[in-house]
Structure 1
Amino acid sequence: MPLLTLLPIPDLAAFAAFLALWAGYTIVADRLTVDGHTLLAATARHRRTWMRNMCDREVRVTDSALLGNLMRSVSFFASASILILGGLVALLGAGERAYAVVQDLPLVADSPRGVFETKVVLLAGVFVYAFFQITWSLRQFNYCCVLMGAAPSPEAPAADKDVYADNAARLNALAAHSFNRGLRGYYFALALMTWFIHTGVMVAVTLLVVAVLYRREFRSKTLKALNAAIPLIPPGRS
């Protein structure tokens, strides 16, 4: 990539470490989700119970409200991504003036303008990734709305309800998975922002982000609470 040729060797090494940590954590997290050891895996059981219980309800206003709350959270981050990208593009468009202002900020390391602009472009790339993941999540939640509207009636055979609940919960979980990846992009973007201070600081903060994400997804009290509620789910509903 011609863009990366502008970076000194220490910056290239730090960025490679950043990508390796992000990709490595994503691979491990996805694998452990399949094995059932993450927040996403725990909520998947409850999503299936939700969809199955919905089939037995005559009035489904509550279910619509719950899905609406999920979609509003996703919409917020989609809008925020656009605003952040707009700000980064404006920063690049301001040219020498923006470069001078940023270089005057406390803690920001001195670097050539080409290196500075390369870092801004790469940071924007992270938010582009987050935007695509989050908007895809929003679309999947929209499809879930359609599927909820086509849910079997309470009088439908139990087998039909089970098949419906499996697929509706799967779609809901896929939307949550995409949103989780987009939100993870925000965490790593925060780490990448410290690249303007020092390459070593960026690598250290990236490691901290990985530790925080691991703690929340695999060792949090939230996960323990979700898992503790799973035995309460009636047989055939999870």
Structure 2
Amino acid sequence: MTALSNLTIPTLDLVAVIWATTCWLGYNYYANNAKRSLMNTMVKWRIKWSHTMMSRENRIVDSQVINGLSRVVTFFCSTSIFITAGLFASIGASQQIMEIINQISFMQTTTLQAIEFKFSFLVLIFVFSFFKFGWAITQHSYSAVVLAAVPDSKQIDMERDSELAQLMGTLSGLGSRHFNDGIRAYYFATATMTWFIHPLVYMLVVTWVILILHRRDFRSKLLQHLNKLDDVIDTERVSR
């Protein structure tokens, strides 16, 4: 057993939470900085969108896209609050939860302190996701302000205002990046539920989640189609 402040929790549980945290934050850094990831590919499409927007007289569609993105993020942001509140209630019922877990044959026998430690880690995950979603909402709202600052298509100067339009796409991309960080937190929070079964099961599930995320971010058919069409568009631009 290892002492941690006033808690006494199994060493294997500490190893599991360190492994999960390292995988979670490490993958976030890797996916956000890799050049050929799904997210960074979509950033290029957002820049294309912002440049196309400059030639439109009516930009209602563009504002609706931003509003739609904001609504999705707002839903997850409020959901994180509700889940966090539910987890705090679960911490208050840790004694009853411990008794139920100890009666289930396929779950590892646990202690009250271990239950509270696991719920506290889940709270940290959802608090992290809340701040990520909250910042994503802010960035999407700022991209809407930049959209409104782009001159009308009849008055626009492509050379002068292209950087302003690109800024809108860049801010939208930053909002998407923090939204994806928050969504990944949900993936790892779901994996954390298996921690109540056994720490080794938890570490295996976290590894499995990493493999799933990597496949979707770097090897999915969606990414292949986006890159294929992106290359075609770039080729047509050069030929002109």
Q: TM-score, normalised by structure 2?
A: 0.90
Alignment correspondent of 1:7 = 9
Alignment correspondent of 2:141 = 142
Instruction: Measure, in 1, the Cα distance between the counterparts of 2:18 and 2:207.
Output: 13
Instruction: Measure, in 1, the Cα distance between the counterparts of 2:227 and 2:169.
Output: 17
Q: Which has the higher contact order (CA 8 A, sep 6+)?
A: 1
User: Cα deviation per residue 1:106-165 (whole Å; 9 max; x = unaligned)?
Assistant: 643221101111110011111111111011101111111111111122121111231112
User: Cα deviation per residue 1:161-188 (whole Å; 9 max; x = unaligned)?
Assistant: 3111221111111000000101111111
Correspondence list, 1:25-104, <5 A: 25-32=27-34, 36-104=35-103
Partners of 1:4 and 1:12 within 8 A in 2: no
**Given residue 226 of structure 2, which amino acid in structure 1 is its aligned partner?**
L
Instruction: Measure, in 1, the Cα distance between the counterparts of 2:72 and 2:150.
Output: 24
Alignment correspondent of 2:175 = 175
Instruction: Measure, in 2, the Cα distance between the counterparts of 1:59 and 1:79.
Output: 32
Closer, same or farther: CA 174–66 of 1 in aligned 2, 3 Å: same
Closer, same or farther: CA 202–217 of 1 in aligned 2, 3 Å: same
Alignment correspondent of 1:232 = 233
2:194 equivalent to 1:194: yes
**Given residue 140 of structure 2, which amino acid in structure 1 is its aligned partner?**
F
Partners of 2:147 and 2:165 within 8 A in 1: no
Q: TM-score, normalised by structure 1?
A: 0.91
**Given residue 133 of structure 2, which amino acid in structure 1 is its aligned partner?**
I
Give the 4+ runs in structure 1 shifted more than 6 A. none
Please give the secondary structure, in 2, of the residue aligned with 1:160: helix
Identity of aligned residues (%): 32
RMSD: 2.0
Partners of 1:188 and 1:206 within 8 A in 2: yes
Alignment correspondent of 2:164 = 164
User: Cα deviation per residue 1:19-54 (whole Å; 9 max; x = unaligned)?
Assistant: 12122222222231xxx2011111111111111111
Paired positions, count:
233
CA drift of 1:103 comes to 4.2
Partners of 2:98 and 2:111 within 8 A in 1: no
Unmatched segments (≥5 aa) in structure 1 = none
Partners of 1:130 and 1:183 within 8 A in 2: yes
Alignment correspondent of 1:22 = 24
Alignment correspondent of 1:185 = 185
**Given residue 125 of structure 1, which amino acid in structure 2 is its aligned partner?**
L
**Given residue 54 of structure 1, which amino acid in structure 2 is its aligned partner?**
M
Instruction: Measure, in 2, the Cα distance between the counterparts of 1:142 and 1:66.
Output: 12
Instruction: Measure, in 2, the Cα distance between the counterparts of 1:148 and 1:112.
Output: 54
Partners of 1:130 and 1:186 within 8 A in 2: yes
Please give the secondary structure, in 2, of the residue aligned with 1:128: helix
Instruction: Measure, in 2, the Cα distance between the counterparts of 1:165 and 1:11.
Output: 49
Instruction: Measure, in 1, the Cα distance between the counterparts of 2:103 and 2:89.
Output: 18
Partners of 1:22 and 1:188 within 8 A in 2: yes
CA drift of 1:5 comes to 4.5
Instruction: Measure, in 2, the Cα distance between the counterparts of 1:127 and 1:102.
Output: 23
